[in-house]
Structure 1
Amino acid sequence: MLKLSAKIVQPRPSWWVAASQYCFASSVAADTNPQLDAAATSKVRTDDNHLVEKIEKVTRIPFNQRDGRRKRIDERLFDTNALRNIMKNESAVENRPANEQIIGQINQAQSIDDILSLTENPGFNQKTATTAVLVLSEWVSTGKIRMTQLHQDSRYKKLCSMVGINQRILPTLPKKDENIANNFSSLYGLLQTEKFKQQIRNLKIVEMIKVLSTLASKGKRNTPVLQTLAFSIATSQEPLNIKQLGDILYSMAVLNFYDEMLIKKVCINLLQEVPTSTNTAVVGSIFTSLGMLRYRDEKLLGVLTSWVIKNSESVRPQDVCRLLLTLAHVGYKPEEFDELVQKVVAPLTESDMCQSSEWLDVVWALTVLDATKVEHYESVLNKGFLNRIFGDEAELKSAKILKILNINAAARLITSGYKGPTIPTDSDILTTQVNRTKEKTELANAIVAALKILLPSDSAYLNTNINTKMGFLLDADFCVDSKCTPIALNTTSAKNKSFYRIALLTCAYQEFCRGTNSIVGLVQLYKKLLEAEGYRVMLIPYNEVNFKDKLVTRVKYINDNLKSLLNETPKE
Structure 2
Amino acid sequence: MRAPSSAISQVWNTPLLQLLRSLPALGLARGGHQVRSVEQEVLWRLRRLPLRQLVQLAEQLAPQGHDSLLLPEVLRKLELRWTELDGTRAVVTLMAKVGHLSPALMERLEDKALELAEQFDPDELRRVALALALQQRRCVPLLRALSYHLLQKPAELPLPVLTDLLFAFSECHLQGLGTKPCFRVAVPGLAVAPQVLHRLSLELQPHVGSLSPAQVLRCARSFASLRWLSRPLAEAIAQYCLDNTQNLSITQLCGVLVSFARLNFQPSSSEEFFSMVTSLASRNSRVAWVHERLQGQEQQPDVHLLTDAVWSLCVLRQPRAPHLRRVLCPEFQARLRGEPGGVTCPTRAAAQSNSSSWLKLLHINATARLEAPGYEGPFLPPEVLRGERDGDKDKEKATPLQRGLREALPGALGGHDLVRYNVSTVYGWDIDAEAVLDSDNKPLPVRDFTAPHLSHSEGTKALPPGARRVAVLRWELPQFSSPGRELLGRGSLARRHLRAAGFLLAEVPHYEFLELKLERQRVAYLKDKVAKVLASDTAGDKATDAAT
Say if 2:224 and 2:260, in contact at 8 Å, map to a contact too.
yes
Question: How many Å apart are 1:290 and its aligned residue?
Answer: 1.3
Residue of structure 2 in register with 1:34 after alignment: none
Alpha-carbon offset, residue 512 of structure 1: 1.4
Give the match for residue 75 of structure 2.
72
SS at match of 1:347: helix
Superposed CA deviations along residues 403-427 of structure 1, whole A, max 9, x for unmatched, are 0100011111221132110011123
Query: Following the alignment from structure 2 to structure 1, what is the Cα–Cα distance between the partners of residues 406 and 486?
Result: 24
What pairs up with 1:291-330 in 2 under 5 angstroms? Answer: 291-330=224-263
Counterpart-to-counterpart distance in 2, 1:379 and 1:186? 48
Measured against aligned partners, the alpha-carbon deviations of 1:508-547 in whole angstroms (never above 9, x if no partner) come to 1121111321112111111111111111011111121139
Give aligned pairs, total.
419
Q: Using the alignment, how far apart are the partners of 1:439 and 1:513 within structure 2?
A: 23
Q: 1:201 to 1:445 in 2, by over 3 A?
A: closer
Structure 2 equivalent of residue 162 of structure 1: none
Partner in structure 2 of residue 262 of structure 1: 196
Matched, 1:555 2:523: yes
Q: Secondary structure at the match of 2:247?
A: coil
Aligned to 1:348, the other structure's residue is in SS state helix
2:267 corresponds to which letter in structure 1?
P
1:366 is displaced (CA, Å) by: 0.6
Which of 516, 527, 531 aligns to 2:484? It is: 516
Using the aligned pairs only, state the percent identity: 21
Cα deviation per residue 1:321-353 (whole Å; 9 max; x = unaligned)? 112111211222121122111222121235436
Equivalent residue, structure 2, for 1:402? 359
User: For 2:112 and 2:387, how far apart are their aligned partners in 1?
Assistant: 54
- C-alpha separation between the residues in 1 aligned to 2:303 and 2:258? 15
Q: Which residue of 2 aligns with 1:54?
A: none
Measured at CA, do residues 186 and 255 of structure 1 come closer, stay the same or move farther in structure 2, by a change above 3 Å?
closer
Q: Distance in 2 between matches of 1:265 and 1:330?
A: 19
Distance 2:293 2:501 in 1: 31
Correspondence list, 1:275-286, <5 A? 276-286=209-219
**2:420 and 2:435 in contact (8 A); partners too:** yes
The answer to whether structure 1 residue 505 and structure 2 residue 473 are counterparts is: yes
- In structure 2, relative to structure 1, the CA distance for the partners of 1:497 and 1:250 (3 Å cut) is farther
Tell me if structure 2 keeps the 8 A contact 1:443–1:547: no
In structure 2, which of residues 190, 201, 206 is the aligned counterpart of residue 272 of structure 1? 206
2:78, 2:105 within 8 Å by CA — same for their partners in 1? no
Q: Is the alpha carbon distance of 1:231 and 1:297 closer, same or farther for their aligned partners in structure 2, counting shifts above 3 Å?
A: same
> Is the contact made by 1:76 and 1:167 (CA closer than 8 Å) also made in structure 2?
no
Q: SS in structure 1 opposite 2:314? A: helix
Alignment of structure 1 residues 37-76 onto 2, 5 Å: 67-76=70-79
Pair 219,441 (structure 1): closer, same or farther in 2 beyond 3 Å: closer
Task: Please list the CA deviations of residues 63-84 of structure 1 after superposition, one character each: whole Å capped at 9, or x if unmatched.
Answer: 97884454235423369xxxxx
Deviation of 1:477 after TM superposition, in Å, equals 0.2
As a proportion of its length, which structure holds more helix? 2
Q: Secondary structure at the match of 1:503?
A: strand
Q: Which moved more, 1:434-443 or 1:315-324?
A: 434-443
Which amino acid letter does the alignment assign opposite residue 431 of structure 1? G
Given candidates 401, 422, 432, the residue that maps to 1:443 is 401
Is the 1:305–1:334 contact (alpha carbons within 8 Å) kept by the matching residues of 2? Answer: yes
| Among candidates 205, 208, 213, match of residue 122 of structure 2 | 205
CA distance in structure 2 between the aligned counterparts of 1:442 and 1:198, rounded to whole angstroms: 35
In structure 1, distance between residues paired with 2:274 and 2:398:
34
The Cα offsets for residues 4-40 of structure 1, whole Å up to 9 and x where unpaired, read as xxxxxxxxxxxxx9666466599xxxxxxxxxxxxxx
Query: Residue in 2 aligned with 1:566?
Result: 534
Q: Which amino acid aligns with 2:430?
A: L
Separation in structure 1 between the aligned mates of residue 156 and residue 414 of structure 2, nearest angstrom: 64
Instruction: Note if 1:346 corresponds to 2:291.
Output: yes
Query: Residues 32-61 of structure 1: CA distance to partner in whole angstroms, max 9, x if unpaired?
Result: xxxxxxxxxxxxxxxxxxxxxxxxxxxxxx
Name the CA shift for 1:198/1:24 in 2 (closer, same or farther; >3 Å): farther
Q: 1:431 is paired with a residue of what secondary structure?
A: coil
| Corresponding position of 1:546 | 514
Per mean C-alpha deviation after superposition, the further-off stretch among 253-262 and 441-450 is 441-450
Amino acid at match of 1:265: R
Q: CA offsets per residue over residues 537-568 of structure 1, 9 Å max, x none?
A: 11111121139822101101111111211122
> For the aligned residues, what is the CA RMSD?
3.4
Q: Look up the match of 2:414.
A: 456
SS in 1 for 2:511: coil
Corresponding residue of 1:529: 497
Check 1:565–1:548 CA distance in 2 against 1; reply closer, same or farther (3 A cut): closer
TM-fit CA distance, 1:268: 0.4
1:431 and 2:387 correspond = yes
Q: Give the match for residue 428 of structure 2.
A: 471
Partner of 1:370: 317
Query: C-alpha separation between the residues in 2 aligned to 1:490 and 1:237?
Result: 63
Please state how far the C-alpha of 1:299 moved relative to its aligned partner.
2.2
**What is the aligned counterpart of 1:360 among 285, 290, 307?**
307
Match of 1:110 in 2: none
**Displacement of 1:227 after TM fit?**
2.2
1:320 Cα deviation (Å)? 1.9
CA contact (8 A) 1:18 1:70 kept: no
Q: Which moved more, 1:218-227 or 1:470-479?
A: 218-227
| Superposed CA offset, 1:451-502 (max 9, x none) | 211333352x100111102112111100224554322225667765522210
Q: Residue 431 of structure 2: SS of its match in structure 1? A: strand
Q: Does the 8 Å contact 2:46/2:74 carry over to 1?
A: no
Report the 3-state secondary structure (helix = DSSP H, G, I; strand = E; otherwise coil) of the residue aligned with 1:333.
coil
Distance verdict in 2 for CA 1:224–1:243, change over 3 Å: same
What secondary structure does 1:432 align onto? Answer: coil
Q: The residue matched to 1:515 in structure 2 has which SS?
A: coil
Contact 2:328–2:361 (CA under 8 A) maintained in structure 1: yes
Structure 1 counterpart of 2:148, from 215, 221, 231? 231
CA change 1:192–1:246 in 2 (3 A) is: closer
Rounded Cα–Cα distance in structure 1 between residues aligned with 2:212 and 2:432: 45
The structure having more radius of gyration, on CA atoms, is 1
User: Are the equivalent residues in 2 in contact too, given 1:331–1:520 (CA < 8 A)?
Assistant: yes
